[in-house]
């Protein structure tokens, strides 16, 4: 009886070890090193759209996978594969593969038109398309006046070069808000070197969120923007603050303004997968051990 159980335990271990090792190897596979599919033949976009291709190649979309800042942050977080949904084109989360590195032409110009250039290539210029990756910015834009007048992302941003369509944000604003821009040039704020973006595109606080938003695209002037310069002039006469100001009180609005929900999961250790797989293999080995022993005995008798 003891011999039979020893045999079963041995067979169980023989099943458990390779199963656990295989599971650990699969979960530790390097997403950038072993899961990338061979890239298909790329569309010959550059032949006709050389300027667009050059701008794209040097822009954030073209460098989305290879950007050193992204790679460093990605590696520090344990290389979460969900990041590749936006930093590659055609990412398949089930297989862990993608069609091309970076945000390529196919990301927005899809499906590919069969008889292009005779027929124009499909192009999704909607803000919703941009919002698939730039989640927080898209959410802020939805509550803005720009959305109410149908001014979406490509109205200000060059999607190929990922830059503004003007030399700076203030020049971009002036293309629509000419009267306000002209009047602003004569204000005390302008004389102090402030621009439209300093108040209407304020820097976001806290950890960068989904879509790596760094500026508030609701275009509303936040209280914090005023407090940066007028923290001690909001409610008291100027005479109160002739001496050196007291330490700035805590900003009660900061927690609300920077509130966000992070969807980034914690990195899962492959040890758990290996242990579960090993237990399954061990159980399978114990169950199959009697049949394997009988099969072995039968073969031994036949050989004799």
Please give the Cα distance from 8 to 218 (Å, whole number): 67
- The top-scoring range by mean pLDDT among 3-12, 75-84, 255-264 is 75-84
Residues 6+ apart with CB under 8 A from 107: 61, 89
Residues of the chain with pLDDT > 90, as a percent, come to 32
- What is the model's pLDDT at position 167? 85
> Which pLDDT band, with edges at 50, 70 and 90, does 290 fall under?
confident
Mean pLDDT confidence for 76-97: 91
Q: What are phi and psi of 53, to 5 degrees?
A: -65, -40
pLDDT digits (tens, 9 = 90+) for 238-289: 555 555 555 554 443 443 344 444 444 455 566 665 666 666 666 766 676 6
Which range is least confidently modeled, 174-188, 193-207, 276-290? Answer: 276-290
- What is the model's pLDDT at position 44? 78
Mean pLDDT confidence for 18-32: 59
Tell me which of 142 and 264 has the higher pLDDT: 142
Please give the Cα distance from 19 to 274 (Å, whole number): 8
Tokens standing for 155? 């109205």
Q: Supply the DSSP symbol for 238.
A: G
Tell me which of 84 and 255 has the higher pLDDT: 84
Q: Has this prediction a pTM greater than 0.85?
A: no
**Residue (of 297, 293, 207, 302) closest to 7 by Cα position:** 293
Residue 190, H or E segment: helix 188-191
Which range is least confidently modeled, 4-18, 120-134, 247-261? Answer: 247-261
Above 90 in pLDDT, residue 111?
Answer: no
Contact present, 181 and 170 (Cβ < 8 Å): yes
Mean pLDDT confidence for 98-109: 91
Please give the Cα distance from 214 to 208 (Å, whole number): 7
Above 80 in pLDDT, residue 295?
Answer: no
Please give the Cα distance from 176 to 168 (Å, whole number): 14
Mean pLDDT confidence for 148-153: 93
Beta strands in 15-124 (DSSP E): 88-89, 100-101
Mean pLDDT confidence for 13-19: 64
- The chain-wide mean pLDDT, for the chain, equals 77
Vertex 184, ends 182 and 185: CA angle to 5°? 70
Q: Supply the DSSP symbol for 219.
A: -
- What is the model's pLDDT at position 170? 86
Above 70 in pLDDT, residue 64?
Answer: yes
| DSSP annotation string for 21-33 | HHHHHHHT--HHH
- What is the model's pLDDT at position 291? 67
SS3 state of residue 85: helix
Sign of CA dihedral 161, 166, 167, 172: negative
Please give the Cα distance from 185 to 23 (Å, whole number): 65
Mean pLDDT confidence for 67-95: 91
Please give the Cα distance from 56 to 299 (Å, whole number): 67
**Residue (of 93, 88, 20, 103) closest to 284 by Cα position:** 20
Contact present, 45 and 106 (Cβ < 8 Å): no
Rg value, the chain, Cα: 30
Sign of CA dihedral 21, 27, 32, 36: positive
CA-to-CA dists, residue 254 to 128, 188, 198, 206, 257, angstroms: 28, 26, 17, 9, 5
Tokens standing for 71? 């790679």
Tokens standing for 233? 């002039």
Mean pLDDT confidence for 126-144: 92
Mean pLDDT confidence for 91-97: 89
Above 60 in pLDDT, residue 28?
Answer: no
Mean pLDDT confidence for 198-225: 79
**Residue (of 167, 169, 164, 163) closest to 181 by Cα position:** 169
Residue 87 falls in which region: left (phi positive, over 0), alpha (psi -120 to 50) or beta: alpha
């Amino acid at each position: 009886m003891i011999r039979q159980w020893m045999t079963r335990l041995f067979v169980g271990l023989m099943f458990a070890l390779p199963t656990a090792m295989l599971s650990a190897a699969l979960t530790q596979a390097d997403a950038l090193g072993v899961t990338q599919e061979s890239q298909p033949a790329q569309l010959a976009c550059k032949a006709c759209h050389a300027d667009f291709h050059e701008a794209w190649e040097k822009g954030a979309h073209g460098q989305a996978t290879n950007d050193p800042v992204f790679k460093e942050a990605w590696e520090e977080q344990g290389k979460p594969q969900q990041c590749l949904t936006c930093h590659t084109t055609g990412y398949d989360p089930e297989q862990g593969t993608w069609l091309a590195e970076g945000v390529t032409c196919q990301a927005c110009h899809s499906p590919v038109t069969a008889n292009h250039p005779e027929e124009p290539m499909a192009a999704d210029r909607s803000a919703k398309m941009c919002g698939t990756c730039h989640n927080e910015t898209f959410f802020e834009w939805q509550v803005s006046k720009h959305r109410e007048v149908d001014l979406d992302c490509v109205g200000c941003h060059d999607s190929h070069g990922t830059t503004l369509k003007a030399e700076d944000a203030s020049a971009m604003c002036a293309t629509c808000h000419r009267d306000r821009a002209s009047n602003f040039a004569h204000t005390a704020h302008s004389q102090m070197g402030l621009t439209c973006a300093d108040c209407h595109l304020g820097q976001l606080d806290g950890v960068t969120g989904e879509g790596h938003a760094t500026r508030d695209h609701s275009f509303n002037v936040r209280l914090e923007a005023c407090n940066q310069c007028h923290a001690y002039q909001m409610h008291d006469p100027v005479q109160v603050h002739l001496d050196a100001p007291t330490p700035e009180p805590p900003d009660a609005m900061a927690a609300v303004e920077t509130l966000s929900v992070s969807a980034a999961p914690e990195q899962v250790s492959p040890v758990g997968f290996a242990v579960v797989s090993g237990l399954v293999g061990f159980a399978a080995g114990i169950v199959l051990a009697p049949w394997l022993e009988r099969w072995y005995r039968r073969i031994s008798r036949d050989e004799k």
